[in-house]
Amino acid sequence: MVNIGIIGFGTVGTGTARILLGNKDIISQRIGFEINLKRIADLDIKKDRGIRLPEGILTKNADDVLNDPEIDIVVELIGGIRPAKDFILKAIRNKKHVVTANKALLATEGNEIFSEAEKNEVDVGFEASVAGGIPIIKIIKEGLVANKVLAVYGIINGTSNYILTKMTDDKVEFSEALKEAQRLGYAEADPTYDIEGIDSAHKLAILASLSYSIPLSFNEIYKEGITKITAQDIEFAWELGYKIKLLAIAKSLDSKIELRVHPTMIPKDYFISKVDGVFNAIYVQGDAVGDTLYYGRGAGDMPTGSAVVADIVDIGKKIVTSYKLQVTSHEKNSGPQTHISRLNSLLVARHSSLKIKKMEDIEAMYYFRFSAFDKPGVLSRISGVLGEYNISIASVIQKGRRVGEAVPLIVLTHTARERDVIKAIAEIDRLPIVADKTLYIRVEGKEQ
Ligand code: NDP
Ligand code: HSE
């Protein structure tokens, strides 16, 4: 039997407990031993969570989990940085394995946590930290371990995907779609992490570390959210053959890695364009396997609980195997137990020398929305500046006539360098023919 204790009995804590109790028999039939939910700590132990727990499990004091010598695995599900980090470090120093869904903590403080786990020879499971119920961590760590990863990209924030889907389907503006996401309980009360690309960047830091054997590099990820996208951009994108999605992208090119989160125009016939609502999808391209795609629920009590329990089972199996080896070794009196398998606590075993590319060095196609006065010569002024910076135009849209007033002028480019785009836009935005700041969106897919 393996004993576990949960700290944090909120959305994911409740889902995890429900799965552990409800599917207890199925799980032990599969793995051959029992996972025993011994304690759950939460600040509020009176609240009805709609789940019946055995007597005496609940406690208000996290230390009842952290200091219990019988608990093998501590499951941290409170979220945030402090005290979550203190709890995890205390568990590790008490030689307990840890399972967490806390992507914000791992992305920013994970290097220290994993190194402490290595020192103490315990495991840290984090399947639930990326894409909820999709077992993407196991896929990259195990299923695709034979591959050099060429690219990992996807929709890994359900809230922003819901907002963009709502704006596309119902032709509403960002603020209205956000309100609806909040009403449905998808977005946080303070949705900044979701809509500014920060949550996606937390998850991308973890995926990139596993895929490219680099340290967790959250600070080096370029982050741009969806707040500036208008319903009109979505319509123009559609007209040009694209959908707008908030993508998290990691790509290896010229022995450097691109790490970026931003709204992206994707050809509307690509599968990932069809991933709507709160769903997540991740595309992984390996040199041996080719293209692979994973789709499912990226959040919610039960999908996320499913990933938490998968980690508990994985670590539980190692504990039981290690215990059996110790017994065998003792029975055979074979001296010190040097053959007992060392638990795999490291995020990656050895770091590669791959460097992260500066954002200004990336190349992409671009969509520009200029706010230009409707008068003769405007397009040639703008295209003149683009030409000076080596930016070649693929198509142009200007709708309606409002002589002398500002109208949206849409330009789609061929592949250009981000550094040139930044300079060209700054110059264009200073021209008297332009009424407002230019919006630009990077475009993925084949050149038109
Ligand atoms: P919730 O806010 O629903 O639950 C957190 C719980 O922890 C609350 O009940 C909270 O109590 C309790 N808590 C806070 N501080 C303490 C403490 N010091 N001791 C004991 N209990 C405490 O969060 P979620 O379940 O949504 O998220 C948990 C983690 O899972 C986060 O890291 C999140 O990013 C991650 N995650 C969540 C997903 C989701 O769908 N919700 C999906 C994937 C990952 P109180 O409410 O009183 O503060
Ligand atoms: N806020 C996150 C999302 C929760 O919307 O995807 C899951 O990590």
- 82-131 pLDDT, tens digit per residue, is 999 999 999 999 999 999 999 999 999 999 999 999 999 999 999 999 99
Task: Tell me what the mean pLDDT of segment 74-81 comes to.
Answer: 96
Q: How far apart are CA 360 and CA 140, in angstroms?
A: 28
CA–CA dist 214, 256 (Å, integer): 11
Range 157-167 average pLDDT: 97
**Please, what is the Cα angle at 260 between 297 and 223, to 5 degrees?**
90
Of the CATH numbers 3.40.1360.10, 3.30.300.210, 3.40.50.620, 3.30.360.10, which one belongs to the domain with range 136-297? Answer: 3.30.360.10
Q: Which ligand is nearest to the CA of 162?
A: 2
| Closest of 15, 289, 278 to residue 128, by C-alpha | 15
Position 343 scores a pLDDT of 52
Give the Cα separation of 192 and 196 in Å (integer).
Answer: 6
Domain 2-132+301-333 shares a fold with domain 136-297: no
Query: Who contacts 188 (Cβ-Cβ below 8 Å, separation ≥6)?
Result: 159, 194
| Three-state DSSP string of 335-369 | CCCCCCCCCCCCCCCCCCCCEECCHHHCEEEEEEE
Task: Name which of 63, 58, 37, 35 is nearest 48 in CA terms.
Answer: 58
Closest ligand to the CA of 78: 1
- Is the pLDDT assigned to residue 380 strictly greater than 60? yes
Edge-to-edge strand ranges of the sheet holding 97-100:
58-59, 35-41, 2-7, 73-76, 97-100, 124-125
Contact (CB, 8 A) for 129 and 105: no
Query: What's the N-to-C CA distance of the chain in angstroms?
Result: 60
From the alpha carbon of 161, which atom of ligand 2 is closest?
Answer: 5
Please say if the pLDDT value at position 305 is more than 60.
yes
Q: Where are the domains of the chain?
A: 2-132+301-333, 136-297, 360-443
| Element counts in the chain: helices (H) and strands (E) | 14, 18
Distance CA 140, CA 187 (A): 28
**230-280 confidence digits (pLDDT tens):** 999 999 999 999 999 999 999 998 789 999 999 999 999 999 999 999 999
Among 103, 199, 306, the mutation site with the greatest number of ligand 2 atoms within 8 A of its Cβ is: 199
**Protein residue with least CA distance to atom 8, ligand 2:** 299
Of 186, 203, 280, 306, which is best to mutate to test ligand 2, by the most ligand atoms within 8 angstroms of its C-beta? 186
Topology adopted by domain 360-443:
Alpha-Beta Plaits (3.30.70)
Residue pLDDT, tens place only, 17-76 = 999 999 999 999 999 999 999 999 999 999 999 999 999 999 999 999 999 999 999 999
Q: Which residues are catalytic?
A: 203
State which fold the 2-132+301-333 domain adopts: Rossmann fold (3.40.50)
C-alpha closest to that of 433 among 369, 368, 367, 376: 376
Q: Give the span between the Cα atoms of 26 and 31, in whole angstroms.
A: 9
State the distance from the centre of ligand 2 to the C-alpha of 7, rounded, in angstroms: 20
